Amino acid sequence: MNMSANVIVVEHPLVQVKLTQMRSKETATPDFRRLLKEISHLLAYEVTRDLVLTEREVETPVERAMCPVLRDLEPCFISILRAGNGILDGMMDLLPSARVGHVGLYRDHETLEAIEYYYKVPTDMADREVIVVDPMLATGHTAVAAIDRLKKDGAKNIKFLCLLAAPEGIAEFQKGHPDVPVYTASVDQKLNEHGYIVPGLGDAGDRIYGTK
């Protein structure tokens, strides 16, 4: 992994190969969805790498032994709707007991600002590590608005996980939340005039769900 300015790029070969397949416009919706779930497993390993462990006694078929378990409550995953659910599905495979919340935001195509339409999160976020997921960190407005809201409700230990980030989105995000690390599979070149990441992979939500 390459770490710089609180941005962690997951450079594992399998992450990069799957991301390449997802970028291709020839990749059909079912394959895109499968690849997103697979890459989410790999990203989940990295974003949870620093979870703190303790030990408890376990009886194996051979003898009793002290074995590692999570010291704290399971993390809380927050999906930014709708595309965040594609990453959420893969992460829940690894941590099925994690708490889950959803923040519904859409980007105004004129102002590129985030507008909230849905919000439902666990009440004990302050006691858990909170991992916010969204495939794209483009303008950064949606991610900043979501984390503004979560902090207002008590979230403290927060990470942001995405597939792709644009330099402009990272700058906006770090201006709003310099304390929140960003985990991503790639920092791409730039945003185009429509606010899409270049070279990117198109609209993640449309490609996950087969919409336009």
pLDDT of residue 112: 66
pTM of the model: 0.92
Distance set, CA 161 to CA 60, 132, 186 (Å): 36, 6, 11
Task: Tell me if 178 sits within 8 A of 151, measured CB to CB.
Answer: no
State the DSSP code for 124.
T
Is residue 103 a contact partner of residue 157, using CB atoms and an 8 Å limit? Answer: no
Q: Which pLDDT does position 115 carry in this prediction?
A: 83
pLDDT per residue of the chain (212 residues) written in tens, 0 to 9:
454 669 999 999 999 999 999 999 999 999 999 999 999 999 999 999 999 999 999 999 999 999 999 999 999 999 999 889 999 999 999 999 999 999 998 777 777 677 889 999 999 999 999 999 999 999 998 999 999 999 999 999 999 999 999 999 999 999 999 999 999 999 999 999 888 899 999 888 889 988 87
**The predicted structure's pLDDT at residue 194:** 84
- What pLDDT does residue 7 have? 95
Beta-strand ranges (E) seen in the chain are: 2-4, 7-9, 53-59, 64-70, 76-81, 99-107, 114-120, 130-133, 136-137, 158-165, 182-187, 190-191, 197-198
How crowded is residue 88: how many other Cβ atoms within 10 Å of its Cβ?
24
Query: From CA 117, how far away is CA 111, in angstroms rounded?
Result: 17
- The pLDDT value given to residue 176: 94
Reading the block at residue 148, the tokens are 């503004």
* Alpha-carbon distances, residue 165 vs 4, 99, 100, 144, 168 (angstroms): 14, 25, 23, 13, 8
Residues with active-site annotation? 107, 111, 203, 206
Strands 7-9 and 2-4: antiparallel
Please give the pLDDT value at position 105. 82
Residue 4, pLDDT score? 60
Query: d(Cα 159, Cα 58) in Å, to the nearest integer?
Result: 31
The CA distance from 153 to 126, in Å, is 8
